[in-house]
Amino acid sequence: MINSVRHILRRSLFLLLGLLSCTILSVSAQAVTASEQSKSPLTQLKAHLVGDFSNLRHMMTTGEGVGQPPVLMQITPADWDGEPVLIARQALIESLDEPYRVHIYRFRESRRNSQLIQDIYVVPEAAHNERDASMLRHAELLQGCSIRWQAEDDQFVGVRDGRRCAFLDEHGRQIAVSSQLLLTEEQLIVEDRAVAMGGDIIVGSPLGDVSVYERIRFFSADIAFLPSGAQASDADAWLGVAPHRPLHDHDVRIPLTASADGMFIGHDIQVLGFATDENRLQVRLYRLSDVNPHQDVTMEFDGATWHAETERFRIRLTPIERFQSD
The answer, yes or no, to whether residue 195 has pLDDT greater than 70, is: yes
pTM attached to this predicted model: 0.79
* Residues in contact with 318: Cβ distance below 8 Å, sequence separation at least 6, in sequence order: 219, 220, 221, 222, 304, 305
DSSP string, 108-133: EE-SSSS-EEEEEEEPPGGGTTS-HH
- The residue type found at 160 is R
Cβ-contact 42, 109 below 8 angstroms: yes
What is the sign of the dihedral through the CA atoms of 213, 324, 83 and 133?
negative
Tell me what the mean pLDDT of segment 46-73 comes to.
89
Q: How far is CA 239 from CA 235, 242, 260, 296, in A?
A: 9, 10, 8, 20
* Residues in contact with 168: Cβ distance below 8 Å, sequence separation at least 6, in sequence order: 174, 175
Domains of the chain plus CATH, in order, are 44-215 (2.40.128.590), 218-320 (no CATH)
The answer, yes or no, to whether residue 256 has pLDDT greater than 60, is: yes
* Range of lowest pLDDT (11-25, 34-48, 207-221): 11-25
Cβ-contact 72, 91 below 8 angstroms: yes
**Dist. CA 143–CA 55, nearest whole Å:** 27
Return the DSSP state at 261: T
Question: 107: closest CA among 58, 173, 163, 41?
Answer: 41
Q: Could you tell me the pLDDT band of residue 163, with boundaries at 50, 70 and 90? A: confident
Degrees, nearest 5: CA angle 2-21-36: 175
Q: Could you tell me the pLDDT band of residue 222, with boundaries at 50, 70 and 90? A: very high
Return the DSSP state at 217: -
pLDDT in tens, 128-146: 988 888 899 999 999 999 9
